[in-house]
Chains A and B, each alone.
Chain A
Amino acid sequence: MRTTVAALIRKDLQLERRSFESVPAMLMFSVTVFVLFHFGLDRNALAGDLAAGVLWVTLLLAAVLGMNRLFVAEREQGGFDAFLLAPVDRTAMFVAKAAVLFGFLVAVELVAVPAFVLLLLEPGIGQALPELLAVLLLADAGIAVVGTLVGALGVQTRARDLIIPLIALPLLVPVVIGAAQATAPLLEAGGADALEVRWLGVLALYDAVFGLLAYAVFDYLLEE
């Protein structure tokens, strides 16, 4: 199982490096949306829950771009068949794809979050950084799990780019709630407040429940 997951991840990273389809697009999209928010809200600087909301909605929408692309190569270039013919545990594809999406999200955030701080955030991010990292990682895990599941669900349909966000975004509302509520005190204008741990708990619970669920049902999406 581990070698299969490693082989799949390696293949996806090779493809991404070769074609640069996902990460740059997600990144440019995030920065563009920050600019849009600046004009849309007519604000030079945001703080507190407004900042948290803008950050998380933007990251979520960027994630949708990644979800849309996640299984396209498999679908269009026979990757599903090749995988189904191999003597491997089929759940490896779920694990590998979720790991790849998670990796993409982290890569995007490495640039998008500093960009956000630079462009729109009023206070510095300073000492709240470790807590912010925790929120980012937990939320990314949830987005990766649900995104992989919905990506696979949608890739075989005709209006794939529409149906994936329409299903994924409502499913990710608890993640937005948890992440935004957790991040808001960290971005307060007067300096970061304490992080409310219960929101981390909400995120962790969501990750666990959907992680297990996706792990259990994913195989059914691969059969013909």
Chain B
Amino acid sequence: MTFGRGLRPLSIASAVLITGAFALVFFYAPNDADQGFVQKIFYLHVPLAIVALCGFVAGGIYGILYLRSNDRAHDLRSYVAIHISLIFAVGALITGSIWARASWGHWWVWDEPTLVSFLIVFLLYACYQPLRFSIEDPERQARYASVFAIVAGVFVPLNFMAVRLAESLAHPRVLSTTGGAMPGDMRMTFLVSLVGMACLYVTLWKYELAAKSASIQLRSLRRRLAGDEGLAPLQRSAAPQQL
């Protein structure tokens, strides 16, 4: 099973887009009228958030695919998707916090629904790996993890809606207030950042998939050579160890 297809063009595309995005952010996008230079962290924060959310939902979709087909490759894809999304989510939380501090003076604001929703989503998905780790049987681990991924994936949009309803819209959020009316240069920069972040995510995802599947295949080859008793038994792991 080859997971590494298209890795090189993707890596190049990511590198180009991210560099391009940075260039645009620093040299092209306008300074925000009231928030100043610091507002530009928005080009990092929002793409991180959007891509993380899509990644979580993708993890849920692969969970569904696994349950229907019992193909462990889907479970591996689900695991890696959630794993990387969690990292991106932490990034979104940190950049959001920095932005909040710079704009409104506090490291944390409850009024920003995106930030609050992300905190909840992060707390939820932080349980994913401990849950996997605590189940020894690999088949059951994959099955339970898939159920979790599906439920959590459905939860993410629901949660956003609920939090958004609950919090007062005291602070303008650039995406919703300017929406389609974002000035052209801002929109362009934002789009490039978003696409660059998405490319980066897919590249990392494929990278980790390729690495993991390679080590799984290596081990199974070794087992075939050394015999069942020839290798040290697998350590418990949250990650899928068989395909």
Contact = CB atoms under 8 A, between A and B. Distances in A.
Do A's and B's CB atoms come within 8 Å in the complex? yes
A73 interface: no
Contact of A174 (B150, B151, B158): B158
A35 interface: no
Contacts of B159: 173-174
The bracket for how many chain A residues form the interface is 20 to 34
B127 A167 contact: yes
- Residue in B135, B147, B152, B166 whose Cβ sees the most chain A Cβ within 10 Å: B147
Interface in A176-213: 177-178, 181, 198, 202, 205-206, 209-210, 213
Interface stretch (B16-24, B90-98, B138-146): B138-146
A217 B134 contact: no
A106 interface: no
B238 to A, nearest CB: 12
B166 to A, nearest CB: 5
B165 A198 contact: yes
B54 interface: no
A154 B135 CA distance: 10
Interface string A141-159: 0000000010001101111
A220 to B, nearest CB: 5
A15 interface: no
Contacts of A154: 131
Interface in B153-177: 154-155, 158-159, 161-163, 165-166
Contacts of B144: 153, 156-157, 221
Task: Decide if the interface of chain B is mainly helix, strand, loop or mixed.
Answer: helix
A223 B140 CA distance: 8
Contact of B131 (A163, A170, A217): A163
A56 to B, nearest CB: 13
A224 interface: yes
Nearest to A213: B154
Given A167-B148, A173-B120, A221-B143, A158 B166 contact: no
19 contacts: A153-B148, A163-B127, A163-B134, A166-B123, A167-B124, A171-B124, A171-B151, A173-B120, A174-B162, A174-B163, A177-B165, A178-B162, A181-B166, A206-B162, A213-B151, A213-B154, A217-B150, A220-B143, A220-B147
Interface of A: 149, 153-154, 156-159, 163, 166-167, 169-171, 173-174, 177-178, 181, 198, 202, 205-206, 209-210, 213-214, 217, 220-221, 223-224
